[in-house]
Structure 1
């Protein structure tokens, strides 16, 4: 079984065929999906989607792009919302200096608020990091000194230094369809150096469809293609890679019930 640890089923791209998208994921061997929140104020929509499907879970949080419009979100609010049985993570939150859609100080403040929520709940923080490696690493190190918290560097496309920092602090690294792109040799080299027990896969659907679907709308079923490239990259079989990344997912997302437990 494979797990798509990061997708956005609430986005308009899936509005008219969400049932079919979830069904196709199952047919492709993707047994579990996590639909990721980008706005706390729209959490009810994300949560309702997770409630609709037995194999879909969700998170609660504010994307760095939206840090200015949700600057009033508190750790207490995140903690309270995370008590819902379908909420298995905090975020996505972090820093994005590529688009800079929110002031950097507000991004950092929101990032720290989400870290505090992850620390208090024990739920993993889903971290968005783009063109902000040094500041993300600095905040992670500083906050880790105040108390441990679980986290995942999602859709990893940063440099080797941030990957090392993440692993050193106990974090996990998730690879998306970017890993399959022809010009992603440097990223594949980073993937080779990640301990196998820290690897996850994702789609970030509807974005970043892997080869051979690059340029088209992405969907959870396509995580199988990313996992196949990851398997080749780290020298394991697709079956071994699926087993490893799924086991890592359950170790990190502790609140998610394994399929066998749900059917028991």
Structure 2
């Protein structure tokens, strides 16, 4: 079986000292490719060199809501130019979105709409971050409809919310959350929706799986997410793995 980690921050400092080992460990269990999102303008630009060094990584440009400041309008304008210049290198736009726990909510909403415009212009999918903001994301989708879908990162909503995103052309990113017994709402979504609606992700070094709280998450732990997912589904592991792989390849043009 082969796997793609559709959301991991392999360029973060927490993984840098042993990154080659982490990538090798992942490859040894079948995880051979990775999608690495952008979070700031400077980090997005740095991903160009990162991808040259690690060709198994597929990159995206974006401004994460956590890092937005009033001056981020200028950064977004520069991100547009950078993304258009490197269109052939990108697999997505993001990580972008709306986080109700972060400051500058109006700015977040405006720049999320800009990200949707950019993704539509470049015919790319979106990588969408959410936290207590499904209603705000839906409002943005009414202003500008995403034309090329994407993934709702770390989805943890209801079956109704899941169906809304799927109807909009999105996949649901499933990560370490489902390894926790308390994640009953997400378990219900995994059990209910068609297999074609999901992709796997770690969010490494964040979002640790159950039993590894307080430690940096590692890309090899995608297998723990996969094993838990399989326990919630009637299909064989082989069928589930192949669907994850083909869905990820189609979404990110891998």
TM-score calculated relative to the size of structure 2: 0.92
Task: Specify the SS of the correspondent of 1:108.
Answer: helix
Tell me the number of residue pairs that the alignment of Structure 1 and Structure 2 aligns: 250
Runs of 4+ off more than 3 Å:
none
Aligned residue in 1 for 2:237: 238
Q: Distance in 2 between matches of 1:81 and 1:178?
A: 36
Give the superposition deviation at 1:81.
4.5
Q: Distance in 2 between matches of 1:197 and 1:246?
A: 10
**Aligned CA distance change for structure 1 residues 78 and 94 (closer, same or farther; 3 Å):** farther
Q: Distance in 1 between matches of 2:237 and 2:17?
A: 32
Task: Specify the SS of the correspondent of 1:26.
Answer: helix
Q: Distance in 1 between matches of 2:98 and 2:142?
A: 15
**Aligned CA distance change for structure 1 residues 141 and 196 (closer, same or farther; 3 Å):** farther
Task: Specify the SS of the correspondent of 2:4.
Answer: strand
Q: Match for 2:100 among 89, 97, 107?
A: 97
Aligned residue in 1 for 2:72: 70
Q: Which moved more, 1:10-19 or 1:133-142?
A: 133-142
Task: Specify the SS of the correspondent of 2:87.
Answer: coil
Q: Distance in 1 between matches of 2:111 and 2:192?
A: 30
Q: Distance in 2 between matches of 1:138 and 1:78?
A: 27
**Aligned CA distance change for structure 1 residues 78 and 114 (closer, same or farther; 3 Å):** farther
Give the superposition deviation at 1:54.
2.4
Task: Specify the SS of the correspondent of 1:6.
Answer: coil
- TM-align CA RMSD: 1.7
Q: Distance in 2 between matches of 1:50 and 1:37?
A: 12
Q: Is the 8 A contact 2:171 2:199 kept in 1?
A: yes
Q: Distance in 2 between matches of 1:54 and 1:78?
A: 20
Aligned residue in 1 for 2:183: 184
Return 5+ residue gaps in structure 1 as ranges. 257-264
Task: Specify the SS of the correspondent of 1:7.
Answer: coil
Task: Specify the SS of the correspondent of 2:214.
Answer: coil
Task: Specify the SS of the correspondent of 1:234.
Answer: coil
Cα deviation digits, residues 160-205 of structure 1 (max 9, x gap)? 3321210111111110100111111111101222221121010000
Q: Is the 8 A contact 1:180 1:226 kept in 2?
A: yes
Alignment pair present for 1:37 and 2:41: no
TM-score calculated relative to the size of structure 1: 0.89
Q: Is the 8 A contact 1:40 1:62 kept in 2?
A: yes
Q: Distance in 1 between matches of 2:183 and 2:244?
A: 20
